[in-house]
Structures are given as C-alpha cells and as structure tokens.
Structure 1
Amino acid sequence: MDWKQKLKDFYSYDDFIQPQHKIVKDTRKGYDQLVILPTGSGKSICYQLPAIVSSGFSIIISPLKALIKDQIDNLRKRDILVLSFYGDTTKKEKILLATEIYNHQNTHHLIYTTPETIENNMQFREYLDVLEYRNKLDRFVIDEAHCISQWGNNFRPAYLGLQKIRDFYPTVPIMALTATATPPVQDDIVKLLRFSKYKKYTKSYFRKNLDISIIHKSTPIRVHNRNVLNLIIKEDFRDKSGIIYCQTRKKCEKLSLYLNENGLNTLAYHAGLSKKIRTETETSWKSNEVGIIIATIAFGMGIDKSDVRFVIHNDTPFSIESYYQEIGRAGRDNLPSKCILYYSDADRLAGKKLIKYSFTQTLEYKTTKQEVKKHKTNLKRTIKLLDIFEEFCIDTNTCRHQQISTYLGEKNLESCKTSCDNCIKPLRVLKTVNVSNICFEIVSIIHTLQDSAYKTNIAASFKKRCRHTNKYKTQQITTKRFEKCLTYLRLNKFIKERIIKLKGSYGSMCVYKLYEKAKQILKNNISIDIEI
C-alpha cells in the first residue's frame, strides 16, 4: 500500500506528520493501538485514512455530538463518504446505513457514533453483529479516550460502558486516541479497554509555536476587564481569531458585553444558550465573521480551526490537562500564537467552590456506600488536580512547557528558552528565607480563631501581631510574604481549606483548619525555609 499517495489523493497533503505514517501502517497488523499526540498532530488521519481504503467499516466513538458533526462536515468537504448513527442522526441516514449493511454495499467505511449508542441502542448493536459475522468490522476507534479514566480531568461515566466492546467483539482491534494522558490515565485506558498486545505512539507535548504566559489578575472586576481590553489592543488581537475562557456563563456574558461596548466584535458561548444560538455562534466564529468567542469549557473539544492566534484564560482552569487541551486550540497551523492566563488565589478558591458544589449536587444520586465512597474519592482527586495546577501557576522560574510536559509523563525535556514568560524574562536569583516565625503565627492564629479562621480574619490578626511583637520589627513582612507562607502551609498539608455554607444564605466561605502535623510548628519542632 502506497500510503503517501493515498494521503495525497484524499487529503492533498504531500507527507505525513510523524508518527502518523507508522500508526497508519500498523493498522494492518491487527493489534490494539494507544495514540497520544498533542493537539494539531493530525490524530484524525490515523484512523480515517485506513478506513477510507478498507473494504470494511470503522466505528468512531466520540463524546460530543458537536464534535461528530464537525468531523463529518470536514470529511464531506473532501468528498469522503461517511455516516453517523446516534440521537441526532436523520431517519434518512439511518435507512442508508441499514441498506449498506444488509445489501453488502460497503461504500461508507466510517461510521460515527456515541458511547451511549454503543451501550444502549440494540438496533445499532445488531448492525455491528452483522458486520462482525461478515468479517467487515475493521476496528473501533475511541476518540478523547482519556474520558474513560477517573484519574483524568474530563471523566465521562458513559465511556465506562465501552469496556463491553471486549465482551461483545473480543477479536476486533481498538484504537484509543487522546491529546493528553498522564501515566495513570494511560494505564487506566489500557486496563479498562483490556488491551493485551498493543502498540503505544507518543510525541513530545512541547509546541514551540505556543507562547505561554501567566499574569496576576487584578481586582476589582472592572479593572481586570479593562486590562483584558488593553491586552487585546496591545497585542493586536482585535482582528484575529481567538478564544477567551471563563469559569461561568455569567462571566462570559458580562465580559462579552463589556468588550463589545468598547469596540470589539465578540460572542458568548455556553451550555445555557439554545442549540440554535450555539450553532450560529460557532459558525460565525469559524467563518471569521466574529473574531473572538468568549466561552466556558463547553466550547472547544474537537474544534478544527487552524488560525486561532490566541487563547486567553480569564479564570483559572481546574487542571493542567484541561489547560493544555484548551491552549491546544491555538496555532494548529504551526504559526506563532499566544496563550495568556490570568491567575489569582481568589479564582482558585472560586474554582474549588464550584467543584465542591458540583460534587454535592450529584452526591444525592449515589445510593450505595460504595458509590458514596467512590464519589468522595473522586472529589479529593479533582481538588488535588487543582492544587497541582496552582503550583504550576505560582512557579515563576521553571519553564512552563517543561512543567506541563513533565507532569504529563515526558522525560528530559529541556526548557523552551523563548516560548514562555519564565524563560524570556531575566533570570531572577531566588533567595531562601527562613519563615518559621511567620508560619508559627499563622498556625497559632488559626488555632485561636477556630471556626472564624477566614482568610481576612487571619490576615487582620497577623498584621495586629506584627505591630505589637518586637521580633518582627526588623523584618519586612509584606502581604506577598504572608500569602506565600499561607500557600506553603496549605500545599504542604499543615493547614486545610474547608468550604462552609453560610447560614440563611446561598453563599459560602472558606475557613482554615489545622492538620495534625501543624502541632509540630506550634511546638517549634520544624524549621521552614521558602524561596522568595
């Protein structure tokens, strides 16, 4: 098989991006494949091209209907025959699929579906049984395979049902694809899909055309919004294609309104909008009628737009995986693109509240002790991912690309040197400062305040002690140093945050509590040094 010629015939590309060629060739060998390639590496070709030239069928399983529609539209623009079978598929298309299968026509070799359809639709399963009996079921392709793992950032319970593929079709190969998978997530994918003899394909996570920077977020919100506007103007983003991510629907709407009032052309996108408006918004953005889309994470998975010049995170993402996937939507044409994150501890805390609220809302549907225990374990895991992302944000020395790649399991990656804020700024020599006294005071205050140990109360009490304690008069105890010590104590499990609901209100507050090992600080048994 001359794969390069087939690539030219169907996609008009002269050559493969590695390791596409090897993946495509290996599909003929009949074993399972785990494909972990960064966004923009052409994962779709790895399964589409083998299916197009085959006499059988490949079943492509995707988590989102919008993603399926996007893929099908792109294939049909290339005059490649493709069908789908899921909730939104027309009756006409379903009849066409049935005709192909029962009349042995085999002209459409790609069938897109959802995990819910695979598990619950008996008619579709009957079609698959017929194809297997005729030896025409080539492979199952599971896109966004990280969704099967509870270790990942985007776990979808419906994906767990895909384990049954091995029960129903034990001899049919599976190709699992994802852009981000830490080693635990990779192990989960292999274990849950019951891969035995399989090949893994990876590529460096480092994308040198993405310029990553983190900016401290200003308060109040009107100041921050003005900063975003000034950034867009300063960086000449006004007439370019970009995405601004916000944590909530309300923030999307408000920021879009503010930017539009100040001369920009933006649209908001979130799950609260009707399907019609979401489709129109997406179409306007893809056709460059609108340059900037302001969205929640409901937008973006699988979006194939090559000329996105910037991705701005208006709020803190919940994990490194989420962040990497979202910035991966920039610069798919390999041209320079900016990835700017606004970070603040208040945003991190707001994110933590959102996570806890979401888990609390779904807890009532857990009926057994085992389900409740698993649910609480998943909550702790999700909070841990947020903590890891915080460490990424507050690290002002280590290469951003290096941090991301190391976290995702890549080894020995050198610093980018020119593609992140930490590498391009002058090297700052950090000095180590002993902060045992400051940490003692913070822990002591939390112990004294008990249920009133809110951050504002701790800060006020600390300032008061500094004014009345001789041992601090020769030290410059800045707000920044206080914050650094508080963060150190939290990340190193001396103190913990607890989100509590306010009585007679829909609001919540964060109160600080002590872990057992904080007693060692109160006894002056621990010396604490941090880099300033």
Structure 2
Amino acid sequence: MDTKHTVLEKYFGYTSFLPYQEEIVDAVIAGRDVLAVMATGGGKSLCYQLPALVFGGLTVVVSPLIALMKDQVDALRANGIPAATINSSLGLGERRIIERVILEGRIRILYISPERAVQPSFLSLLSQADVRLIAIDEAHCISMWGHNFRPEYRRLRALKERFPAAPVIALTATAIPAVQDDIAVQLALKEPARFVGSFNRKNLTYRVVPKARYFPRLVAYLSEHRDDAGIVYCFSQKATEDLAEKLHNKGFLALPYHAGLPDAVRAEHQEAFSHGDAAIICATVAFGMGIDKPDVRFVIHTDLPKDIESYYQETGRAGRDGEASDCILFYSRGDYGTIRYLIEKEGGDATQKDVAYRKAGAMLDYCETAGCRRKFLLDYFGETYPEEPCGGCDRCEAPVKVFDGTEVASAVIACIRQVGERFGASYIADILTGSKSARIRENGHETLPAYDSGRYTRDQWLLFIQELVGKGFVTSTGGRYPVLVLNERSRAVLAGDLVVPLTEPRPEGVVAPEADDYDEVLFLRLRRLRKVVADLDRVPPFVVFHDRSLKEMAKFYPGTGVALLRIYGVSEGKLQRYGRKFLDAIDKHCAEQGIGPERRSG
C-alpha cells in the first residue's frame, strides 16, 4: 500500500500539503468520521481523493451538480486515477457499463448525486461493491440553518447506516458552529474529528468602487485582463443578458447565465466558460455552487450582495488555484432598496426578517468601512486578524490619511438631533447634501439649519456616518429600519469636549495587481497549447495543467521529464500524457529567445 506522501506526489504532482489537509487525511485513514470546514481553494477534494487511493476499494462521493462531477472525474482521470460518475445525463447503456466496472472493482472514486445516493437500487448496487469511504461534499446543504438547504441531503444518513464500517467525511466551505453541529447529527457521524480552517484567502484582493458610471470602469479593467477568466455577478436575469450583450459589443467573449435560461443553454454556457471558449460569465447567483474552475482571476459584483456570507462565497470562486485574483464590488447605497425588496418578498416571520436586515446592514458596513476589508470579513466570521495592513484590499494599498473631523462630526450629530433621532444614515446624508426628495419636503426638513450645510458628496457623508458609528460617536439601532441616535460621546462632541479623528475621503479606483516573476510570452504560449490539448481531449484546460503550473514552467524552463515533474501539479500521469508537447514548446521558445542551458532546470 502506497504511503500518503507517495500518493500525493505520484498522482497529484504535489510535494506538500495545504493547511489542515494532512491532519484530515490522517484522521480519515485512521478510520474516523470527519467534519471539515475549509475555505474555497483550500483543497477539500484531496482530503478524500488521497485516502481513496490509500484505502483501495471504492470511495463514494456525494456531489450536488453534474458539471462539478464531470470536472472532478476528468481531472482524476488525467492523473491516472480510475474515476466515474453516474448521473441523469447518462444513457442506460453507459450506466450499465459503469455499474459493471464498479462491481469488478475497477473504479476507485465514484461521484453520485444526493438523490441517487439513497435510491434502494443504488444502495443495493453499493452493497455488492467494496465501499471503503464515503464523502459528502457541500455538506452545509443538509442544514436548514445554512445557506442552499437541500431537503434530499437529509436522507444521506442512510449511507452511514448501510455502511457503518466506512468512515464518512463531510466537507463544506462555510458553516457556522450551529450548522456544523447539525451536519454531524443529520449524517449520524460518530464522534467526528472536526477541522475548521482559516477564512483568510490571502491571494484575493478586495476592492470596493463607486458604482456611478461603473460600465466604463468595468470595460477598462476587463481590457487589462483580456487573457483572464472571470465572473461578473448581477442582480437580475435581464441585467446579466444586457451586460453580456454590451460586453460582447465591446469585443469581449461574454455569456449570460441565469435560472431563466433553458437547461441546455445554461449547460452550454457553463461548458464554454470552463473550457476557455468564453472568458466572462455575466451571472446571477444561480451560477455558483459546484463551479470547479480554479483559474477564475476576478469576481466582480455590479450590485450589492444581500449578506456577507453570500459575498464571501461568491468571491471565493476567484483564485481557487492559489494565484492572485481580484474581488471588485461596484457599490451604491441605493442598492440597499433592492435588498429590502428581496427580504420582504422572501417572507418569513419578524425575527427572520430582522436577522436578514442586520445581515444586510453588515454588508453596508463592509462597503463603507474605513478600515481593512480583510479584517472586517474575518472579524465577521469570528476569526482574529492582526491590526496591520493586509496588503490585499483597497484600504490597505494606500496609507489612510486622518484629519480633525470634529466639525464634520458636529454637523452629523446636529442633524440627527434636529430630526428628532428618528431617521437613518441615508436620510441624514440627504439633508446634509440638500436633497430635494419628496420625503424631506413632506417632513418639512428643508427648513432645518442642517439642510444643505455640508460640503461633501452624499457618499462621503455616508462614509463619515459609518465611521462615527464604528467609533462610538453615534449609535445605530440596527434591525429592519436602522435609526441613528445620540449618546454621551455625541453630546460631548457638541459641547466641544471631544476631538473626532476621521478618515480623509479619497478617490476610489480599480488597481491592477503587480505582475508575477515569470516569462509572460512563454506563459501565454503554453496557455494556447493547453487550450489545443484540452480541446482534443474534450476537457477544460485546467484539467491539463493549472495556471500555476504553466507559470512555473515559464519561470524555470524545464528541459527534461524529471525537471517537469518538479513543477507544481505535474503528476506522473500528466507527464506521460502531456509532457512531451509542453517540453517541445518550452524548447522552441528558449531557442527563439536565446535562453541557454544555464537558465533552465534539467
């Protein structure tokens, strides 16, 4: 039996584990049930794929989406691992062949939907196979307390009951403690080893950009990233189609994706994106769970997400391969009205709505914070981040300038007092900027001393107000209709007893990340070769090699198979299957550019 390290290098082309992977693998190999919460890109799949090869026999993986199963199977086969999936897209003949191969013991990893996993006929088939391990992916779907609840997941405990000797590993990217407990109970896990990784995606850069006139900014950003793949999230189905058409007219390979499209069209668009035939997907949140493309270089939101959990999950689809990627949110506080509409439309009792409004308020706070965005996200999920610039958000990329904001604070506090402490931040900002809204006229507030008394824009006043709340100079009641009220510190400011430091407003923009240290010409050449090879094999390009692998090739110029095996993600199977073509391309590039043996790894 191969050791875990031998399997890691031979079949996956890696020489070391990512955080928590080795501990999880050890627990599974020891026969323990496991609950693993790891951020997207943390390498959850390897936590059951590697033990499957150590165990032998059959590992059954429950996965929610056909496209995800197919991508996983393609990637495993490219590494020389016998894998298969049984799903509704297969004909009867194809399914019978796979079932026969399973019974013959020639499949190591089988992907299956949660619906099929508990069918009596399928359980009967598995009873005749040598089931050694069961993996439940997207395990948060089992809990009504989590997002994306799927009732069919509740029945998966039948697998544990049918195969009590096989350890079960449940995996998810996001699960608060209550959801973790529910997963363990619903799956009947026996004293599971629990691993909760960090939520800090160090390779992601977070930026929030004013939404006004966002389309030219979006086009400018995409023009600088024409060779990259990305997702642009929109609120409505119509918005995805309109944006895709506008981008197409600007020369971008963009396609829409939403739940209203026919199944065949959605599948076609997702495959085009996965295979690199479309660089950009303009999507609603229907494009989400199960997206296995690792080289998504940017995730852009043109509308405000409804809560931090959704935003974190959606941005998590960027940079799953660990390479630097951008998360950009075009923000306007006006989008909050859309969120309120959704909360009311989705129904629920008063408590559920209050929770939803508080979550939406936290999303506003993230957009308007003057501090580090990464720290804000991690604090939200209960993870401590040091008080230092993260270097990976727009707030930390340039030093924050602080000024004496006592006059600004006094103007805000005076306005709150003049309206009787009965309104929220947007209304206060409207008064200070002299808005001519009907609501202000109906309340007679255009006659207040505070009306049109400010010299800043509405968005800048909102940032000041958010900072005043965060620093305790003003109190926000939160809930469905947050109201600003005064406190002891507010009154001390008006009395002249406190000085208020505030962050100086600054222009916002989209900043491109710094270039990596590799031969960009060779990298692009290898990417084109990868696309040709992938199309011949009818698999997505990332199944052949990840971007990180190509960048290392473009940095070290490997000249032999041994040198190529030292490249990240190059397994023995991939060396045999693709190595010669890529080595030839590297040799040709080096000859053309005069790159000698002294610069190449051999």
Distance 2:243 2:80 in 1: 40
Q: What TM-score does the superposition give when structure 1 sets the normalisation length?
A: 0.78
Give the direction of change, closer, same or farther, for the CA distance of 1:94–1:238 in structure 2 (3 Å limit). closer
- CA drift of 1:412 comes to 4.2
1:231 match:
221
Question: Structure 1: any 5+ residue segments left out of the alignment?
Answer: 361-371, 450-454, 498-511
Conserved in 2, the CA contact under 8 Å of 1:214 and 1:393?
yes
Distance 2:197 2:478 in 1: 39
Report sequence identity in percent. Answer: 33
1:124 match:
122
Report whether the alignment pairs 1:458 with 2:456. no
Report whether the alignment pairs 1:95 with 2:96. yes
- CA drift of 1:421 comes to 0.7
Amino acid at match of 1:116: E
SS at match of 1:312: strand
- CA drift of 1:416 comes to 4.7
Distance 1:445 1:178 in 2: 42
The aligned runs of 1:178-257 (5 Å cut-off) are: 178-218=172-212, 223-233=213-223, 236-257=224-245
1:16 match:
17
Q: 2:276 aligns with which of 284, 288, 291?
A: 288
Conserved in 2, the CA contact under 8 Å of 1:139 and 1:172?
yes
Distance 1:306 1:255 in 2: 24
1:60 match:
61
Amino acid at match of 2:378: S
The aligned runs of 1:42-441 (5 Å cut-off) are: 42-100=43-101, 104-119=103-118, 121-131=119-129, 136-218=130-212, 223-233=213-223, 236-357=224-345, 359-360=346-347, 378-397=352-371, 399-429=372-402, 431=405, 433-434=409-410, 435-441=412-418
Deviation sequence 1:26-55 (CA, Å, 0-9, x none): 212111112222222221111012113433
2:476 match:
492
Give the direction of change, closer, same or farther, for the CA distance of 1:400–1:481 in structure 2 (3 Å limit). closer
Conserved in 2, the CA contact under 8 Å of 1:212 and 1:338?
yes
Conserved in 1, the CA contact under 8 Å of 2:378 and 2:385?
no
Give the direction of change, closer, same or farther, for the CA distance of 1:157–1:239 in structure 2 (3 Å limit). same
Distance 1:245 1:473 in 2: 36
Give the direction of change, closer, same or farther, for the CA distance of 1:161–1:347 in structure 2 (3 Å limit). farther
Distance 1:347 1:528 in 2: 34
Distance 2:253 2:357 in 1: 36
Distance 1:389 1:111 in 2: 39
Question: How many residues are paired up?
Answer: 477
Conserved in 2, the CA contact under 8 Å of 1:318 and 1:351?
yes
Amino acid at match of 2:334: A
Amino acid at match of 1:95: R
Comparing 78-87 with 488-497, which one deviates more in the overlay? 488-497
- CA drift of 1:166 comes to 4.6
Conserved in 2, the CA contact under 8 Å of 1:438 and 1:482?
no
Deviation sequence 1:77-106 (CA, Å, 0-9, x none): 3332223334334323432354356xx521
SS at match of 1:341: strand
SS at match of 1:200: strand
Conserved in 2, the CA contact under 8 Å of 1:183 and 1:408?
no
Conserved in 1, the CA contact under 8 Å of 2:33 and 2:192?
yes
Conserved in 2, the CA contact under 8 Å of 1:60 and 1:110?
yes
Amino acid at match of 2:217: N
1:364 match:
none
- CA drift of 1:384 comes to 3.6
Give the direction of change, closer, same or farther, for the CA distance of 1:469–1:406 in structure 2 (3 Å limit). closer
Deviation sequence 1:404-463 (CA, Å, 0-9, x none): 22222323445453110111222233746254442344457779x9xxxxx94434456x
Give the direction of change, closer, same or farther, for the CA distance of 1:283–1:190 in structure 2 (3 Å limit). same
- CA drift of 1:473 comes to 8.8
Distance 1:300 1:494 in 2: 30
Deviation sequence 1:277-334 (CA, Å, 0-9, x none): 2233233323333222211222243333333222111112222222222222222333
Give the direction of change, closer, same or farther, for the CA distance of 1:300–1:474 in structure 2 (3 Å limit). closer
SS at match of 2:344: helix
Q: Aligned Cα RMSD in Å? A: 3.6
Distance 2:306 2:453 in 1: 40
The aligned runs of 1:442-453 (5 Å cut-off) are: 442=419
Amino acid at match of 1:48: Q
Distance 2:120 2:221 in 1: 53
Q: What TM-score does the superposition give when structure 2 sets the normalisation length?
A: 0.70
- CA drift of 1:194 comes to 3.8
SS at match of 1:215: strand
Conserved in 2, the CA contact under 8 Å of 1:402 and 1:415?
no
Distance 2:87 2:354 in 1: 34
Give the direction of change, closer, same or farther, for the CA distance of 1:428–1:168 in structure 2 (3 Å limit). farther
- CA drift of 1:342 comes to 0.9
SS at match of 1:309: strand
Give the direction of change, closer, same or farther, for the CA distance of 1:446–1:303 in structure 2 (3 Å limit). closer
Amino acid at match of 1:174: V
Amino acid at match of 1:107: R
- CA drift of 1:214 comes to 0.5
Distance 1:316 1:117 in 2: 36
Conserved in 2, the CA contact under 8 Å of 1:446 and 1:458?
no
User: Following TM superposition, where does structure 1 have runs of at least 4 consecutive aligned residues deviating by more than 6 angstroms?
Assistant: 444-447, 471-478, 484-491, 523-526, 528-531
Amino acid at match of 1:279: A
